[in-house]
Amino acid sequence: MAAERLLSHVRRIPRPRSLQFTLCRVPFSSLSVESNPQSRPNEEGKRNTDTPPPIQPVSYPVKPKPSISSEEQLPPPAPTASHRAQLPRVQSPRGNLDAARALTREEIRFVKDFPVISPVSYPKKVAPLPEDRVATEGEGQDEGKGWGGEIGELDRERKRIESDYRVVRKVFKVVEEEKEVPFPMLIKVEKKQSEKKVYDLQDAIRQVKANAKRNFNETVEAHVNLGIDRRRSDLGVSGAVVLPHGTGKDVRVAVFAEGAAADEARAAGAYIVGGDELIREIKNGGKINFDKCIATHSMMQRVASISKILRGLTPNTKKGTVTNDIAVAVKEAKQGLLDFKMKDSIVHVGLGKVSFLEDSLRENIGAFVNALLLAKPPGLKKTSKYAGYVNSFHLCSTMGPGFPVSIQSLSRAADLYTKLHPQR
């Protein structure tokens, strides 16, 4: 029927002769076969029979191994093909495909006798936390025996509250705020600082003499801390004082004088006396082997040319080393003229030797304190006689410890000196 319909349809449409000729020559059988769908499976079956069968893998028997003595242990027999078929094989989605593509026939022959290893998985075991452990019935009984079971009940109540809180925290996802724990602060043990003992002047002198244990005659030194700002140059403290009992040193005095003044200096016991020739010698690099330097007013202009060489020994009117009374100045210098000057708000002076008597040292200290009060700068306001001016006063020997002295005892020593030597 399909062929007739097709032919009738072809007759209605005019076609070229060549095409009509070809259509006429088409056999009816071929048209009927193509138009009938039931005949296609048979034709495909015929074609399948014509294709060659697939190549099956060939297995060769295993070569027999040499015989082993009964004493030696035999290895386990290799699994056969039937045994390998019974073993479960784990196939990955792409692993077998890649392995099949990569292996050659020789490798397959080698691998066929290798036993297949199947993976083994064990269930995961998680150790329970101590807080998740359920308390047994016997727990808590021993704890509460001595207290009537109260401790055990409190412990069970605490565990119940903690478990409820954990459940709430897991369900509602409660975020715990981090508690800021303060860093442990080290607390130093406060040591009881014993207040320094302040000595009376007489006791301080005794302590200094008792602690001078060197094998030479040590000097008794005084260190005064002044309440003056060291940055203010207008509040400098400096002066000179003649100690009643001397410093205990052999003072060498140099005098710049000419004529009769030079003769007076030599008579008073001056170490070096000279004029222009002495100045010229110092300029040329002569040694300065003297402790004090005195000059007359007429020689002072020429002595100023070597002031950079003399430095602290340069004669000064304030110190009493520039004078026309040369004989008295030389005697005072040899007796113990003491020059002092503030440095960094502190005055350091030597007031005698340890070998001096206590009364002699006390009188020397009184003379120095009196001179220190006279050298007080006028610009220092809002201070009394000692308060705000003398902060501390320490006595010590050259190699010994220091001892603080009370201001009251120093004031009494200064007043005693002014009574004994009113002209000074």
Give me the pLDDT at residue 240, please. 84
Where does residue 187 rank: exposed (0-12), middle (13-18), buried (19+ CB within 10 A)? exposed
> Position 58: which residue type?
V
Q: Are 290 and 254 in contact (CB under 8 A)?
A: yes
Assess whether pLDDT exceeds 80 at residue 333: yes
Question: Would 292 be classed as within a structural domain?
Answer: yes
Of 290, 315, 336, which residue sits at a domain end? 336
Assess whether pLDDT exceeds 70 at residue 98: no
| Pairwise pLDDT comparison (68 vs 367), residue with the higher score | 367
pLDDT tens-digit profile of 276-288? 888 888 888 877 8
Of 277, 312, 336, which residue sits at a domain end? 336
Q: What is the mean pLDDT of residues 52-57?
A: 76
pLDDT band at 35 (very low <50, low <70, confident <90, very high): very low
Question: Would 190 be classed as within a structural domain?
Answer: no
Whether residues 284 and 421 share a domain: the answer is no
Q: Print the SS3 string covering 367-389.
A: HHHHHHHHCCCCCCCCCCCCCCC
- Round the average pLDDT of the chain to a whole number and report it: 76
- Residue 154 and residue 378: Cα distance in Å, rounded? 83
Question: Would 126 be classed as within a structural domain?
Answer: no
Whether residues 268 and 294 share a domain: the answer is yes
CA distances from 339 to 180, 223, 240, 318 (A): 66, 14, 4, 10
Whether residues 354 and 417 share a domain: the answer is yes
Domain with residue 277: its CATH number is: 3.40.50.790
Q: Which domain holds residue 378?
A: 197-237+342-424
Cα-flanking dihedrals φ and ψ of residue 102, to 5°? -80, -30
Question: Would 31 be classed as within a structural domain?
Answer: no
State the distance between the two ends of the chain, measured CA to CA, in whole angstroms: 166
Give me the pLDDT at residue 134, please. 61
Of 306, 336, 366, which residue sits at a domain end? 336
Question: Would 403 be classed as within a structural domain?
Answer: yes
Give me the pLDDT at residue 382, please. 62
Give me the pLDDT at residue 409, please. 93
Whether residues 257 and 332 share a domain: the answer is yes
CA-nearest of 338, 370, 357, 373 to 246 is 338
Question: Would 287 be classed as within a structural domain?
Answer: yes
Assess whether pLDDT exceeds 80 at residue 51: no
Q: For tokens 């593509």, name the residue.
A: 101
- Residue 256 and residue 323: Cα distance in Å, rounded? 11
Assess whether pLDDT exceeds 90 at residue 38: no
| Pairwise pLDDT comparison (322 vs 182), residue with the higher score | 322
Cα-flanking dihedrals φ and ψ of residue 364, to 5°? -65, -40
Assess whether pLDDT exceeds 80 at residue 251: yes
pTM comes to: 0.50
Q: Which of 84-98, 113-127, 139-153 has the highest mean pLDDT?
A: 113-127
Question: Would 168 be classed as within a structural domain?
Answer: no
Within 10 A of 263 (CB to CB), how many other CB atoms are there?
14
Overall domain count for the chain = 2
